[in-house]
C-alpha cells in the first residue's frame, strides 16, 4: 500500500523543511502566524511523545519479570514506585485529576521530595568519589599532552576556590594571581578549543539536517520500506 | 596466583583510603562554621550588574532548566537571583523545560518569596509580583512559540490562572518584551536559548550552568551572545557575595559550601601532585640504576 | 580447594549481614533521637526526612559494593520518576492543551477554535504512539516526518547564524577593536598601546591559531603530513589544555553535588546548628 511506503513521509520531510527554512526569511505576518501554529502543534505532539519513553521502560521491566531474568525481583519495585506515584497523583489528596490540590502538601509531592529528589541527587554525587580515585590512580604526566592537561587542571582547580586567594596573597602579595591565571587559561586557549569544537559540531549538525531534508538520512522512519 | 590478588587488595585499599579521605574532608568542613572571603568573577559581576541596572517593574525571564540531580549547584543560584529580583522590585517570570524539576522549582519560588516577604517587608503574590508559568514540552519549539506569543504558549500559569489579563504580564506579549532572561541549565538549553531565543528575538541573556558546562559558555560570552554566566557552586557563591553587599542574608548554601569545596580541591591537588612526584622520582631512580649498570 | 573459599565467603556474608543489621539499628536510633521534635510537630515531614536520609545512605552503600538494598532503592527511584513524569505530563501538557480546550471550553465558539487548531496535532500525537506497535508502526512516520522536517529546516539558518557566523565574527572582532584602539591611541610603545593594542592582538592571534588548529585536527579527509602534522599537534595541545580546564570544573561540579548531600544529612537529618 502506498501509504505504508517511505515515499510520502520523505516528501513531507522535504516540504516541511523547505517551508520551515523559508519562513525564517519571510517578514510577512502570515509567516509569523504559520510559525506560531506549527510551534503550537509540536508542543501538543510533544505531550504524547513522553508516553513512548514511559511505555518502553515499563515494557523492559515487564519482559524481565515475565522471563524471570537475573534480578527480576527488583523490577517489581519499578512498578510499585510508578503505581504509587500515579495513584496518589490522580487521587490528588481527594480532589481528583481534573482539579488542583493545595500544592506542596500532597502525598504526590511527598513522594517527589523524599524519594525522587534524594535518590536523584545522591546518584550523581557518588561520582565525586570515583573521580577522586580515578584522578589519583591515572592522572600521570607521561608526555607533553598529558602534562598540559594536568597543569591546566591544577590551575583551574586552584583558581576556582577561595583558598587560592589566601595562598596567592601569601606567595605573591596579590590575592588574584591564581584567579587571573585561571581566567587567562579559560579566555584564550580554552576559548580557542571550545570555539573550534563548536564550529565543527555546528557544521556537522547542518550537514546532518541537509541529509535529513534530502532523504539520505532515514533512521527516524523506523524499520521497513 | 598470589601476586594479582595482592595487587587487587592494594588497589582496593588505595580506593578505600581515598573514598574515606574525601568523605571525611567534606563532612568535616561542612560541619565547621568557617567562612572565607573571596572576590566575584567578572562574568558573575556582568550578570549581577545587568540585573541591578533594571528599573522596578522590569520583566526578567528565569528558566529553571534542571532537575534534582543538579540541585546542589543550581538551586542556590536560582534562589539568590530570585531574591535579587524581589529586592529590586523586578517581576520574575519563571518557567522550565524540564518536567522532573517542576515541583522543586515551585518550592524554590515559594521559599524565595517567603524569605523576601520577611526581609523586604511586603508580601509577594503570584500573578502580581511574579509568575510561575510551569512546564510545557517541545524544547526549542516552545522558545519559538514564546517568542511569537508567550500567552498562547502558556495560556495558564502553573496554578491554573489565565495569563491573558495577568497583572504581572502586562506589557509582555512575547519574548521581545522581556528585559532580561537567565537560563539555569543542567543540559544543552543555553545553546537553545541563544540560537532560538536571544539571537532571534533580541533580548539579553545570561546563564547559570553546572560547573561541567561552564567552559562551554566562554565562546558565547566572548561573542556577546551572553551577558555573562554563573558557573557551578562558585558562581552561586559569587552572586551571593555580591547581593550580600546590600542584603547580608543572601549568603547561604553556596557560600557555606565553598569552604568544603576549597578543602576538597586542595586534597585532590595534593593527591595528584603527590602521585606525579612519585612517578618522576621513580623514573629518575630507574635512569640512575640503568646508568650505574651500564 | 573450593570448600575453604566457600566457608570464607559464607563467613564474610554473615559478617556483612551483622554489620548491616547494626547499621540499620543505629540509623533508626539516631533518626528518632534527632527528629523527635519535628516528629511531634509534623510527622509527615519528619518521616520524609528519615526516608530521604535512609535512601541517601543506601545509595552511598554502592561505594562499598553493589548490593540488594542499593538495587531496590535504584529501581524504586526509576519507578517514582516514571510515575511523577506521567502525572506531570497530564497536568502540564495534556490537560491544558488537549482536555481543557475541548471539555473545559466555556462557549461553543471556544470549542470551535480548539477544534480548528488542535484536532490535527492531537491526531498526529496519537499516530506518534503507534510507533510502539509492530503492525501499525508505519502510521507514526507521518508525525515524525512533520516534526523532523520542521526541526531540520528551522535549525539550518538558526545554527548558521548563531553558532557559525556569530562565532566567526567574534573571532575577528578583537583585531577590529585593536585597530580602532591603535587609531584612537595617541601613545606608541607605552602602557596604553601595550594594553589596548598589542596584548589584545596577541590574544586574538592565539585564539585564532588555536581555533584553526583544533578544526584542522578534526579534519580527517586528508593525511596530516609535514606542516599539517605540526598544525594538528598544535590542535592537540589546545585540546589538552581545554580538557584540563574542563576536568578542573568537573571536579568542582562533582564535589558540589557531594557537598549538597552532606549538607542535607548534617543540617536537615542530624539537625546540626548551621
Q: What is the pLDDT of residues A12-35, one digit of tens each?
A: 999 999 999 998 899 888 888 898
With pLDDT > 90 as the criterion, what percentage of chain C qualifies? 54
Cell of C198: 598589542
CA distance A177 to chain C (A): 17
Chains that touch A (3 or more CB pairs under 8 A): B, C
Say yes or no: C151 contacts chain B, CB-CB below 8 A.
Answer: yes
* CB B65, CB B96: distance < 8 Å: yes
Retrieve residue A128's grid coordinates.
Answer: 565525586
CB-side exposure of B230: number of CA atoms within 13 Å?
33
Nearest to C152 among A17, A159, A199 (CB): A17
Cell numbers 505532539: residue:
A45
**Given a cut of 60, is residue B252 above it in pLDDT?**
yes
B109's CB contacts (< 8 A; 6+ apart) are B82, B94, B130, B132
Which chain A residues are closer than 8 Å to C203 by Cβ? 187-188
Distance (Å, rounded) from C-alpha C130 to C-alpha C138? Answer: 8
Contact of C206 with A188, CB cutoff 8 Å: yes
> What pLDDT band is residue A102 in, cutting at 50, 70 and 90?
low
Q: Residue C227 is placed in which grid cell?
A: 606542516
pLDDT in tens, A103-145: 667 899 999 999 999 999 999 999 999 999 999 988 888 889 9
Q: How far apart are the CA of A74 and the nearest CA of chain B, in angstroms?
A: 22
The number of C-beta contacts closer than 8 angstroms across B and C is 124
Question: Which three cell numbers mark C161?
Answer: 547564524
Return all residues near B251 (Cβ < 8 A) that are at least 6 apart.
B240, B241, B244
What is the rounded CA–CA span in Å between residue A10 and residue A12?
A: 5
A119 CA: distance to closest CA in chain B (Å)? 8
Window 208-267 of B, Cβ < 8 Å to C: 210-212, 214-215, 219, 222-225, 231-234, 253, 256-257, 260-261, 264-265
**Grid coordinates of A221:** 522512519
Tell me how far apart the alpha carbons of residues C200 and B119 are, in angstroms, rounded to a whole number: 45
Beta strands (DSSP E) in chain C are: none
Mean pLDDT in residue range A88-104: 79
Residues of C with Cβ-Cβ distance to B25 under 8 angstroms: none
Answer whether residue C132 shows pLDDT above 80.
Answer: yes
Residue A84 has pLDDT above 70, yes or no: yes
Per residue in A34-81, pLDDT tens?
988 898 898 888 888 888 888 889 999 999 999 998 889 999 999 999
In sequence order, what are the beta bridge partners of B92? B60
Cβ distance A158 to B71 less than 8 Å, yes or no, reads no
Nearest by CB to A154, which of B148, B159, B269?
B269
The H-assigned helical ranges of chain A are 7-23, 29-66, 72-91, 107-111, 117-125, 127-138, 144-160, 163-172, 177-185, 191-213
Best of B19, B20, B195, B256 to disrupt the C interface by mutation (most C CBs within 10 Å)? B195
User: Which residues 96-115 in chain C show a CB within 8 A of chain A?
Assistant: 97-99
What number of C-beta contacts closer than 8 Å exist between A and B? 168
CB–CB of A161 and B218 under 8 A? no
d(CA B3, CA B161): 70
Among the residue ranges B5-19, B106-120, C124-138, C185-199, the one predicted with the least confidence is C185-199
- Put simply, whether A45 touches C (Cβ < 8 Å) is yes
- The mean predicted confidence, pLDDT, of chain C is 87
Cell, residue C33: 533521637
Task: Kindly report the nearest CA distance between residue A184 and chain B, in angstroms.
Answer: 12
pLDDT > 90: what percent of chain B? Answer: 77
Q: Tell me the sheet residues that pair with B182.
A: B62, B206
Judged by average pLDDT, the poorest of B88-102, C137-151, C223-237 is C223-237
Q: Is C250 on the interface with A (CB under 8 A)?
A: yes
Task: Give the model's pLDDT for residue C60.
Answer: 95
B153-204: per-residue pLDDT in tens? 998 899 889 999 999 999 999 999 999 999 999 999 999 999 999 999 999 9
Q: Do B149 and A36 touch (CB under 8 A)?
A: yes
Write out pLDDT tens, residues C70-85. 999 999 999 999 999 9
The ipTM estimated for the assembled molecules is 0.91
CA atoms within a 13 Å half-sphere pointing along the CA-CB vector of B131: 31
Exposed e or buried b for every residue in A63-98, given b needs 16+ CB within 10 A?
ebeeeeeeeeebbbbbbbbbebbbebbeebeeeeee
Considering only alpha carbons, which residue of chain A is nearest residue B136? A43
- The nearest alpha carbon in chain C to B134 belongs to C92
Check pLDDT > 80 for residue C222.
no
Neighbours of chain B (3+ CB pairs under 8 A): A, C
**β-sheet with B205-209: strand ranges across:** B131-135, B91-96, B59-65, B180-185, B205-209, B229-231
Interchain pair C170, B140: CB under 8 A: no
State the nearest Cα–Cα gap between B41 and chain A, in angstroms: 8
The whole-angstrom distance between A14's CA and the closest CA on chain B is 19
Question: What is the grid cell recorded at A53?
Answer: 519513553
In angstroms, what separates the C-alpha of B294 from chain C's closest C-alpha? 35
First and final CA of chain C: distance in angstroms? 56
Burial class of residue C273 in the structure, from the number of CB atoms within 10 Å of its CB (0-12 exposed, 13-18 middle, 19+ buried)? exposed
Which residue is it, cell 592582538? Answer: C201
Which residues have a Cβ under 8 Å from the Cβ of B273 and sit 6 or more positions away? A154
Termini Cα distance of chain B: 33
Q: Nearest CB to C256: which of B191, B196, B233?
A: B233
The interface residues of chain C toward chain A in range 140-179, judged by CB-CB distance below 8 A, are 140-160, 163-164, 167-168, 171
Q: A187–B160: do the CB atoms touch at under 8 Å?
A: no
Nearest residue in chain A measured CA to CA from C99 = A98
Among the ranges given (A178-182, A217-221, B143-147, C120-124), the one the predictor scored with the smallest mean pLDDT: A217-221
Split at pLDDT 50, 70, 90, the class of C162 is very high
Beta carbons of A199 and C98 less than 8 Å apart? no
Q: Count how many pairs of residues, chain A against chain C, have C-beta atoms within 8 Å.
A: 392
C195 touches chain A (CB under 8 A): no
Q: Which residues contact C43 (CB under 8 A, 6 or more apart)?
A: none
Contact A113 B67 (CB under 8 A): no
Q: Where are the domains of chain A?
A: 1-69, 72-125, 128-225
User: For C11-38, what is the mean pLDDT?
Assistant: 89
B1 in C contact zone (CB under 8 Å): no
Contacts with A27 from chain B: Cβ below 8 Å: none
CB-CB under 8 Å, B219 with A162:
no
Provide DSSP, A166-219. Answer: HHHHHHHS-TTHHHHHHHHHIIIIIHHHHHHHHHHHHHHHHHHHHHHHTTS--G
Distance CA B38, CA A40 (A): 47
**Residues of B whose CB is below 8 A from C242:** 215
Is B65:B189 a contact under the CB 8 Å cutoff?
Answer: yes
Residues 151 through 210 of chain B touching chain C, CB cutoff 8 Å: 155-156, 158, 191, 194-196, 199-200, 210
- Reported as type and span, the H/E element at residue B183 is strand B180-185
**Band of pLDDT at residue C256, cut at 50, 70 and 90:** very high
Q: Does A214 touch chain C (CB under 8 A)?
A: no
pLDDT at position C183 is: 62
Provide, as residue numbers in chain B, all residues whose Cβ is less than 8 Å from the Cβ of A117. 68, 71, 104
> DSSP character for B40?
P
**Gap from C253 CA to chain B (nearest CA, Å):** 5
Q: Which residues of B, range 47-66, sit inside 8 Å of C by Cβ?
A: none
Domain definitions of chain B by residue range: 1-30, 42-256
Which residues, other chains included, contact A3 with Cβ-Cβ below 8 Å and sequence gap of 6+? C138
* pLDDT score for A39: 86
**Does pLDDT of B294 surpass 60?**
no
Average pLDDT, chain B: 92
Residues C103 and B51: their CA atoms lie apart, in Å, by 42
In tens, the pLDDT along B202-215 reads: 999 999 999 999 99
Q: Which residues of chain B have a CB within 8 Å of the CB of C84? A: 100, 103
Q: Which residues of C touch B194 (CB under 8 A)?
A: 162
Averaged pLDDT, C180-188: 59
Residues C83 and A89: beta-carbon distance below 8 Å: yes
Which of A45, A153, A221 is nearest residue C147 as measured by Cβ atoms? A45
What DSSP string runs through C90-156? Answer: IIIIIIIIIIHHHHT-SSHHHHHHHHHHHHHHHHHHHHHGGGG-TTTGGGHHHHHHHHHHHHHHHHH
pLDDT mean over B66-91 = 96
Take residue C39 and report the three cell numbers written for it: 516528629
Q: What is the CATH number of domain B42-256?
A: 3.40.50
pLDDT at position B293: 67
Residue A218, pLDDT score: 87
Neighbouring C-alpha atoms within 13 Å toward the C-beta of B120: 20
Specify the pTM: 0.91
Helix axis angle for C2-41 and C43-60, nearest 10°, is 160
* CB-nearest partner of B72 from A121, A129, A195: A121
In a mutational test of the A interface, the residue from B215, B241, B253, B280 whose CB has the highest number of chain A CBs within 10 Å is B215
Cell output for A24: 525564517
Which tens digit of pLDDT belongs to each residue from A152-208? 999 999 999 999 999 999 999 988 999 999 999 999 999 999 999 999 999 999 999
Amino acid at each position: 500500500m502506498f501509504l505504508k511506503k517511505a515515499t510520502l513521509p520523505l516528501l513531507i520531510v522535504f516540504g516541511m523543511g523547505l517551508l520551515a527554512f523559508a519562513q525564517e526569511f519571510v517578514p510577512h505576518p502570515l509567516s509569523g502566524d504559520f510559525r506560531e501554529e506549527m510551534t503550537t502543534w509540536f508542543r501538543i505532539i510533544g505531550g504524547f511523545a513522553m508516553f513512548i519513553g514511559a511505555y518502553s521502560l515499563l515494557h523492559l521491566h515487564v519482559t524481565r519479570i515475565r522471563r524471570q531474568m537475573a534480578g527480576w525481583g527488583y523490577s517489581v519495585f519499578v512498578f510499585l514506585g510508578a503505581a504509587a506515584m500515579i495513584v496518589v497523583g490522580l487521587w490528588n489528596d481527594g480532589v481528583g485529576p481534573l482539579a488542583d490540590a493545595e500544592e506542596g502538601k500532597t502525598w504526590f509531592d511527598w513522594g517527589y521530595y523524599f524519594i525522587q529528589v534524594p535518590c536523584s541527587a545522591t546518584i550523581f554525587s557518588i561520582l565525586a568519589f570515583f573521580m577522586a580515585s580515578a584522578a589519583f590512580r591515572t592522572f600521570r604526566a607521561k608526555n607533553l599532552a598529558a602534562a598540559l592537561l594536568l597543569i591546566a587542571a591544577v590551575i583551574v582547580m586552584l583558581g576556582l576556590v577561595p583558598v587560592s586567594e589566601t595562598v596567592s596573597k601569601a606567595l605573591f602579595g596579590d590575592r588574584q594571581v591564581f584567579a587571573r591565571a585561571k581566567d587567562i587559561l579559560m579566555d584564550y586557549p580554552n576559548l580557542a578549543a571550545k570555539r573550534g569544537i563548536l564550529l565543527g559540531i555546528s557544521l556537522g549538525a547542518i550537514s546532518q539536517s541537509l541529509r535529513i531534508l534530502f532523504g539520505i538520512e532515514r533512521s527516524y522512519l523506523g524499520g521497513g520500506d | 596466583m598470589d601476586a594479582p590478588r595482592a595487587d587487587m587488595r592494594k588497589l582496593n585499599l588505595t580506593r578505600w583510603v581515598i573514598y574515606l579521605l574525601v568523605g571525611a574532608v567534606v563532612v568535616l568542613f561542612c560541619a565547621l562554621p568557617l567562612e572565607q572571603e573571596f572576590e566575584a568573577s567578572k562574568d558573575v559581576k556582568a550578570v549581577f550588574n545587568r540585573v541591578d541596572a533594571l528599573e522596578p517593574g522590569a520583566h526578567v525571564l528565569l528558566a529553571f532548566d534542571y532537575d534534582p540531580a543538579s540541585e546542589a549547584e543550581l538551586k542556590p543560584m536560582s534562589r539568590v537571583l530570585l531574591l535579587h529580583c524581589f529586592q529590586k522590585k523586578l517581576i520574575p517570570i519563571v518557567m522550565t523545560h524540564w518536567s522532573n524539576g517542576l515541583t522543586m522549582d515551585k518550592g524554590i519560588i515559594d521559599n524565595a518569596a517567603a524569605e523576601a516577604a520577611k526581609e523586604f517587608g511586603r508580601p509577594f503574590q503570584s500573578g502580581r509580583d511574579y509568575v510561575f508559568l510551569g512546564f510545557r514540552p517541545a524544547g526549542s519549539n516552545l522558545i519559538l512559540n514564546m517568542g511569537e506569543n508567550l500567552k498562547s504558549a502558556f495560556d495558564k500559569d502553573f496554578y491554573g490562572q489565565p495569563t491573558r489579563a495577568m497583572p504581572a504580564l502586562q506589557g509582555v506579549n512575547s519574548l521581545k518584551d522581556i528585559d532580561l532572561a537567565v537560563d539555569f541549565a543542567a543540559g544543552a538549553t543555553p545553546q537553545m536559548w541563544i540560537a532560538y531565543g536571544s539571537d532571534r528575538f533580541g533580548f539579553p541573556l545570561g546563564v547559570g550552568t553546572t560547573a561541567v558546562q561552564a567552559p562551554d559558555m566562554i565562546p558565547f560570552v566572548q561573542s556577546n551572545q551572553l551577558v555573562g554566566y554563573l558557573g557551578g557552586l562558585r558562581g552561586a557563591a559569587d552572586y551571593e557575595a555580591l547581593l550580600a553587599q546590600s542584603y547580608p542574608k543572601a549568603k547561604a548554601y553556596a557560600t557555606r559550601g565553598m569552604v568544603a569545596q576549597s578543602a576538597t580541591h586542595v586534597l585532590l591537588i595534593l593527591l595528584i601532585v603527590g602521585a606525579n612526584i612519585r612517578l618522576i622520582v621513580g623514573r629518575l631512580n630507574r635512569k640512575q640504576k640503568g646508568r650505574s649498570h651500564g | 580447594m573450593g570448600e575453604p573459599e566457600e566457608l570464607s565467603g559464607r563467613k564474610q556474608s554473615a559478617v556483612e549481614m551483622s554489620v548491616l543489621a547494626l547499621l540499620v539499628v543505629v540509623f533508626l536510633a539516631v533518626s528518632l533521637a534527632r527528629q523527635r521534635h519535628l516528629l511531634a510537630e509534623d510527622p509527615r515531614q519528619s518521616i520524609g526526612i528519615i526516608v530521604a536520609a535512609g535512601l541517601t545512605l543506601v545509595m552511598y552503600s554502592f561505594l562499598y559494593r553493589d548490593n540488594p538494598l542499593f538495587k531496590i532503592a535504584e529501581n524504586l527511584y526509576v519507578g517514582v520518576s516514571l510515575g511523577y513524569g506521567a502525572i506531570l505530563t497530564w497536568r502540564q501538557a495534556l490537560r491544558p492543551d488537549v482536555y481543557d480546550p475541548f471539555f473545559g471550553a466555556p462557549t461553543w465558539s471556544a470549542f470551535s477554535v480548539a477544534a480548528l487548531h488542535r484536532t490535527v496535532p492531537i491526531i498526529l500525537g496519537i499516530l506518534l504512539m503507534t510507533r510502539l506497535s509492530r503492525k501499525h508502526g508505519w502510521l507514526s512516520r507521518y508525525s515524525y516526518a512533520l516534526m523532523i522536517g520542521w526541526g531540520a529546516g528551522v535549525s539550518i539558518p538558526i545554527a548558521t547564524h548563531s553558532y557559525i557566523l556569530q562565532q566567526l565574527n567574534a573571532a575577528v572582532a578583537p583585531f577590529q577593536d585593536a585597530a580602532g584602539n591603535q587609531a584612537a591611541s595617541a601613545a606608541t610603545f607605552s602602557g596604553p598601546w601595550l594594553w589596548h593594542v598589542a596584548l589584545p592582538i596577541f590574544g586574538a592571534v592565539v585564539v585564532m591559531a588555536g581555533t584553526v588548529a583544533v578544526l584542522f585536527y578534526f579534519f580527517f579527509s586528508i593525511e596530516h603530513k609535514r606542516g599539517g602534522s605540526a598544525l594538528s599537534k598544535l590542535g592537540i595541545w589546545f585540546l589538552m589544555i581545554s580538557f584540563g580546564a574542563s576536568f578542573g570544573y568537573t571536579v568542582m561540579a562533582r564535589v558540589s553535588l557531594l557537598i549538597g548531600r552532606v549538607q542535607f544529612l548534617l543540617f536537615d537529618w542530624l539537625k546540626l546548628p548551621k
